[in-house]
């Protein structure tokens, strides 16, 4: 089943907030599922040069833009992959981030519960997991009061 997910872009304040979480958690591997144009991947890779940052994207144009951005910015620690989020290996990730839509959230949460290592974080931008209360909510001081919903496995 392939859900169609709109392209949601993360504003600079949200990018900074997520990079701060990666720093706070001393993340060694950060994964962005559905990385779009690579905004979060590039922000985290720049803020955390020791962190391996992997973005997964299947929309061809978005993938190419994200891949080119990471290359142009010479972010050696950023890896953009043209691969389905459902085939992403999240087992080594300290943080998994997604800004998708409500449609895939239940399935995504099941995947992450089964595959993420203990102590890892899942951050969802704006979209809750049905039936699951987040462990932490960070409200970004942007025009839409973006909510970062955080679950720790």
Tell me the mean pLDDT in the region 58-79.
94
Q: Dig out the tokens for 151 from the structure.
A: 């679950």
- What band does 1 get if pLDDT is binned at 50, 70 and 90? very low
- Dist. CA 91–CA 94, nearest whole Å: 9
Averaged pLDDT, 51-72: 95
Residue 126 near residue 146, CB atoms below 8 Å: yes
pLDDT tens-digit map of 79-128:
999 999 999 999 999 999 999 988 899 999 999 999 999 999 999 999 99
Residue 19's pLDDT is what? 95
Question: SS3 of 82, please?
Answer: strand
In this model, does residue 51 exceed pLDDT 50? yes
User: Which pTM was predicted?
Assistant: 0.94
Q: Averaged over 47-58, what is the pLDDT?
A: 96
Note the pLDDT of residue 10: 86
Look at residue 4 in the predicted model and tell me its pLDDT: 61
The pLDDT of residue 73 is 84
Share of the chain above pLDDT 90, in %: 84
Residue owning tokens 């940052």 = 53
């Amino acid at each position: 089943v392939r859900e169609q997910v709109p392209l949601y872009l993360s504003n600079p304040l949200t990018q900074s907030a997520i990079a701060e979480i990666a720093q706070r958690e001393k993340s060694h591997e950060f994964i962005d599922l559905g990385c779009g144009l690579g905004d979060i991947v590039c922000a985290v890779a720049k803020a955390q040069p020791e962190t391996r940052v992997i973005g997964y994207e299947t929309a061809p144009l978005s993938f190419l833009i994200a891949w080119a951005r990471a290359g142009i910015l010479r972010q050696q620690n950023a890896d953009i992959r043209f691969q389905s989020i459902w085939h992403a290996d999240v087992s080594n990730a300290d943080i998994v981030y997604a800004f998708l839509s409500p449609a895939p959230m239940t399935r995504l949460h099941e995947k992450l519960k089964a595959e993420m290592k203990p102590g890892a974080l899942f951050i969802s931008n704006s979209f809750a997991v049905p039936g699951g209360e987040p462990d932490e909510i960070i409200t970004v001081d942007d025009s839409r009061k973006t909510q970062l919903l955080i679950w720790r496995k």
